[in-house]
Chain A
């Protein structure tokens, strides 16, 4: 799909050398899911989110989470109107099309919970008033690695609400050179041209659901899910909801690659980012290695 390629090229201008992660982020958006980026500060998380918002011309807000932040700072507040003698809702930053929740793990569990609930339900309820969130609605949350001090770990049940978790990591040396030579990226982001309108994005998201997944493919997805459940190294296997997410992400990936059907490679491509944050090792060890090994043991075609 040309428009998507163009969008990727646009974002690629400001997030250098991270083609794969960009595609994943894009797939996550197309799949209608929320994205969690786990990285040390300064790796370009904000740039990525901002750039995505630019190319889709999305109403973009950024919230820096801090430990003294209240749910109201995200969702909005009731303001007392002395004239009418009633409370009015004043919308918080969550009422945007793309919300960048920076360092979400710095907020208290309560505040995190408020955001995640809104993400899940795509609406906000305050003092009995329910307001739907705009369409489309994406959350890109960033998180510092958990070892950092002064953080509140996102509980596992909440992690499930992010369709994907990716991390950008350090740039390759030559890319870094380019980066150093290139000057201020913030200007570059502002110069990005919108490629797809929000309404087009909504259509694309709807289209993802129509990408064909045949029985042979569903069999493969099922075998992967089953394998996580049978794996002794993991605390628990993937839930059926995670399975649906995996399939949806694979469909979006196929769409990005201009196909209207899903191949096993699509599943394999999105697998780590969909599965890893949902699985917990029992006795330490790298979840990444475990999910990877599952890919290497589950037969693609039974026989």
Chain B
């Protein structure tokens, strides 16, 4: 209850945005343990100065207290004006880690020794000099499939004296995807492929490797003659293709066994990875979404993203 109320209050006070500039509304500040120790020493010196009737010790105590006050301002200043912008995202598999980039921009003054972390993660330190921009990749554990919105980002600094801790809880509007965790399965949930390769005609799918032309020799299939070239007066040639390792494969959701949704996606994920590793072209069909055939890294990425977003509304 309390936690929820706190979250709601935070969301109202510091709503999610793509870019956030830290200002007094967003910065909290409290002494650290050492700051308290320092103040205790100052108080002890005060009593010492009073008892020994030593004005210099009192002056030392007052100087320490003033330094503490100045440190409040400086610690605050170290965060104030810092601009944070949502950067890129790197997706990962469920159970692994994704990472999101936070770009820190120092417009007016340097911001030093900043510690950044998602609320429940380890922190990373970074400094940005005046007028510079720095990107920082922060890992994020992926626990559930789908788009992962990071918790609030805690930006903390104790610079310059470590007596005070200034922090802000920033909600950056960014996300990365948690792909399903691949699950091995012997049966490829696909149609097409080897068995139907014969049906795939040359030049139709784009998945065959075009190699070049050679002169027509009687007996060649007429369907493979480069008629366009012939029409342009280039002579009668036959298109040569290099047979790809397999034909085009349609990985289909409805071909997977009757298993829970997540598991079926995991199996598809496994096959997407495997086919990509073998550098074979494939297509993907999910209920309500389709990925046209293709191969290579981009295809793999798209397939994984599609699997991640399936059923997650976007």
Q: Are A232 and B214 in contact (CB under 8 A)?
A: no
Is A18's beta carbon under 8 Å from chain B?
no
Q: Which residues of A contact B17 (CB under 8 A)?
A: 232
Is B244's beta carbon under 8 Å from chain A?
no
Known: A77-B210, A79-B213, A80-B215. 17 other contacts (CB 8 A): A68-B203, A68-B204, A68-B206, A70-B206, A70-B210, A71-B210, A77-B212, A78-B213, A80-B213, A109-B292, A109-B294, A109-B298, A110-B206, A111-B206, A230-B19, A232-B17, A232-B19
Q: Are B292 and A152 in contact (CB under 8 A)?
A: yes
Is B157's beta carbon under 8 Å from chain A?
no
Q: How far is the CA of A273 from the CA of B206 in the complex (A)?
A: 32
Residue pairs across A and B with CB atoms within 8 Å: the count is 47
| Chain B residues within 8 Å of A, Cβ to Cβ | 17-19, 85, 173, 203-204, 206, 210, 212-215, 228, 234, 237, 292, 294, 298
Q: Which of A67, A80, A110, A231 contacts B212 (CB 8 A)?
A: A80
Q: How far is the CA of A110 from the CA of B210 in the complex (A)?
A: 12
Q: How far is the CA of A73 from the CA of B228 in the complex (A)?
A: 10
Q: Which residues of A contact B206 (CB under 8 A)?
A: 67-68, 70, 108, 110-111
**If the complex has contacts A82-B215, A110-B294, are A72 and B18 also in contact, measured as CB distance less than 8 A?**
no
Is A170's beta carbon under 8 Å from chain B?
no
Is A223's beta carbon under 8 Å from chain B?
no
Q: How far is the CA of A231 from the CA of B85 in the complex (A)?
A: 10
Q: Are A80 and B214 in contact (CB under 8 A)?
A: yes
Q: Which residues of A contact B215 (CB under 8 A)?
A: 80, 82
Q: Name the distance in Å between A116's Cβ and chain B's nearest Cβ.
A: 13
Q: Are A232 and B18 in contact (CB under 8 A)?
A: yes
Q: Would you call the interface of chain B mostly helix, strand, loop, or mixed?
A: strand
Q: Name the distance in Å between B200's Cβ and chain A's nearest Cβ.
A: 12
Q: Name the distance in Å between A144's Cβ and chain B's nearest Cβ.
A: 17
**If the complex has contacts A68-B204, A70-B206, are A232 and B173 also in contact, measured as CB distance less than 8 A?**
yes
Q: How far is the CA of A77 from the CA of B206 in the complex (A)?
A: 16
B212, B228, B234, B237: residue with the most chain A Cβ atoms closer than 10 Å = B212
Is A229's beta carbon under 8 Å from chain B?
yes
Q: Name the distance in Å between B191's Cβ and chain A's nearest Cβ.
A: 20
Q: Are B213 and A231 in contact (CB under 8 A)?
A: no
Closest 4 CB pairs of A and B: A108-B206, A78-B212, A80-B214, A230-B19
Q: How far is the CA of A117 from the CA of B175 in the complex (A)?
A: 30
Q: How far is the CA of A70 from the CA of B213 in the complex (A)?
A: 13
**For chain A residues 105-163, which have a beta carbon within 8 Å of chain B?**
108-111, 152, 155
Q: Name the distance in Å between B230's Cβ and chain A's nearest Cβ.
A: 13
Q: Which residues of B contact A72 (CB under 8 A)?
A: 210
Q: Which of B18, B85, B203, B294 contacts A70 (CB 8 A)?
A: B203
